[in-house]
Amino acid sequence: MGSVDWTDFAEEWCAAWNAHDVERVLAHFHDDAVFTSPLAAQRVPESGGTVKGKAALRAYWTGGVRAVPDLHFTVEGVLGGVDMVTILYRNQAGIRVAETLRFEEGKVREGHAAYEVPR
């Protein structure tokens, strides 16, 4: 993405989530973006953990915001790559999460969430 400041992006991404503004989050995604998450596998079992397309993401994330009214993220680190960023954060339950977003033409083409595994 060239001159993108990944830290600025992560702060905006986090602010959008903390505002529970799904449309603001979705503005960063391509219409045919793909997102994988073990949480999606739990909340939308038929997805197998893979949510495809902006409409499906909207439904999944809107349901998540409704189900978790105290949803809140705190960014703990940002790892920048050539066309990708990994945002390390803690959610409202204190669980560490890494979300890796791969960009194409300035928007997220695919995203992957990974949750801390208890020891």
Residue 38 lies in a domain: yes
Query: Strand 107-115 to strand 29-36: parallel, antiparallel, or no bridges (unpaired)?
Result: parallel
Q: Look up the domain containing 57 and give its range.
A: 6-115
pTM of model > 0.85: yes
**Total domain count for the chain?**
1
| pLDDT grade for 119, boundaries at 50, 70 and 90 | confident
Residue 81 lies in a domain: yes
The enclosing domain of 47 has a CATH number of 3.10.450.50
The DSSP code for 19 is T
Residue 1 lies in a domain: no
Residue 85 lies in a domain: yes
Q: State the average pLDDT for the chain.
A: 95
Closest by CA position to 54, among listed 72, 36, 31: 31
Residue 64 lies in a domain: yes
Residue 104 lies in a domain: yes
Q: What single letter denotes the amino acid at residue 95?
A: I
